């Protein structure tokens, strides 16, 4: 009886396997592609990161000779380490994170995202809740509580800090300040009233415009770079550039693709090199002259 049961189970398993649809030619071809791990700095919570960047992985897998897999980390430093130790082949970094990686190993920027003016830049914003009527400008921030993004964030820490010091507002002038892991976490800190003011990506500030009021927007800063290690094969870099640069927001079909990605990528991409990030180097040098410890 026991033997009969085993044979019956095996028969049922075999029957179910035969009933499964055979993989399509497209699926068989995809399985043969080399897997590429694409790492992204943790701009948002993991769920939002997946929603915004998995469609990008699908696009690259369909339009290059590789199969791309999304690789996330707990913080910005994780992504640098992934790229450094080879567990990621390509990464999206912030400008400051790129400069930090550049100090540790050979890494090169190949592309940067464009803004609505078709420039390889984006902006940082400082916000408060709409009912905080005593906060109008940067000069009103002394004595307030402030939420920054990660200390490795360009738009959520380094850039706003630069403009605060330029306006005569120092860290010690706040009644308290903190760093959050993600930009959307900063927005929630301000909306819930745990901090009176916060700094984040301008696009995130706009996303929460129902509850938050922007009190400051930075000048354009170098756009988010896509980087690879210095020893990456030219064929791989060429393939990546071709896939990204083929997209034009003026093309309705391409626009539909881009709109499914992060807001910072809605307008396409352009090639960049190391000199593109010199404005961030200047901000770092200024803050260090002011006695502020910043990364890189």
Domains of the chain: 34-120+222-277 (3.40.190.10), 124-218 (3.40.190.10)
Query: What is d(CA 197, CA 85) in angstroms, rounded to the nearest whole number?
Result: 37
CB distance 204 to 187 below 8 Å: yes
pLDDT at 32: 82
Give the bridge partners for 229, in sequence order. 107
pLDDT reading at 10 higher than 60: no
- pLDDT for 262: 95
- Mean pLDDT, rounded, for 225-237: 97
pLDDT computed for residue 2 by the predictor = 44
Beta bridge partners of 112: 225, 270
Contact status, residue 179 vs residue 151, Cβ threshold 8 Å: yes
Q: What is the pLDDT of residues 70-124, one digit of tens each?
A: 999 999 999 999 999 999 999 999 999 999 999 999 999 999 999 999 999 999 9
- Phi/psi for 140 (5° steps) reads -90, 0
Report the percentage of the chain scoring pLDDT > 90: 89
Closest CA to 286 of 121, 147, 158, 118: 158
Tens of pLDDT, residues 152-195: 999 999 999 999 999 999 999 999 999 999 999 999 999 999 99
Which one, of 188, 171, 128, 180, lies nearest residue 151 by Cα? 180
Q: What's the CA angle centered on 63, arms 267 and 105, to 5 degrees?
A: 75
Residue pair 146/199 in contact (Cβ under 8 Å)? The answer is: yes
3-state secondary structure of 240: helix
Question: Is the pLDDT at 5 greater than 70, yes or no?
Answer: no
């Amino acid at each position: 009886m026991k033997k009969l049961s085993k044979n019956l189970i095996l028969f049922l398993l075999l029957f179910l396997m035969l009933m499964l649809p055979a993989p399509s030619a497209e699926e068989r071809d995809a399985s043969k592609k080399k897997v590429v791990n694409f790492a992204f700095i943790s701009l948002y919570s993991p769920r939002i990161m997946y929603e915004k960047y998995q469609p990008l992985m699908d696009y690259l897998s369909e339009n290059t000779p590789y199969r791309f897999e999304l690789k996330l980390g707990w913080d910005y430093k994780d992504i640098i380490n992934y790229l450094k130790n080879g567990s990621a082949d390509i990464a999206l970094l912030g400008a400051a994170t790129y400069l930090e990686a550049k100090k540790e190993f050979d890494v090169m920027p190949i592309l940067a995202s464009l803004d609505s003016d078709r420039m390889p830049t984006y902006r940082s914003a400082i916000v408060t809740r709409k009912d905080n009527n005593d906060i109008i400008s940067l000069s009103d921030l002394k004595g307030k509580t402030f939420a920054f993004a990660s200390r490795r964030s360009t738009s959520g820490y380094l850039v706003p800090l630069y403009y605060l010091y330029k306006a005569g507002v120092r860290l010690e002038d706040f009644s308290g300040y903190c760093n959050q892991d993600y930009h959307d976490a900063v927005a929630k800190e301000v909306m819930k009233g745990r901090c009176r003011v916060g700094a984040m990506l301008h696009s995130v500030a706009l996303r929460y415009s129902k509850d938050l009021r922007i009190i400051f927007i930075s000048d354009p800063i170098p756009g988010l770079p896509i980087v690879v290690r210095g020893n990456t094969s030219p064929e791989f870099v060429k393939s990546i550039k071709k896939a990204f640069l083929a997209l034009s927001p003026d093309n309705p079909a391409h626009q539909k693709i881009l709109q499914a990605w992060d807001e910072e990528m809605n307008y396409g991409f352009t090639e960049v090199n190391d000199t593109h990030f010199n404005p961030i180097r200047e901000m770092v040098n200024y803050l260090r002259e002011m006695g502020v410890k910043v990364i890189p």
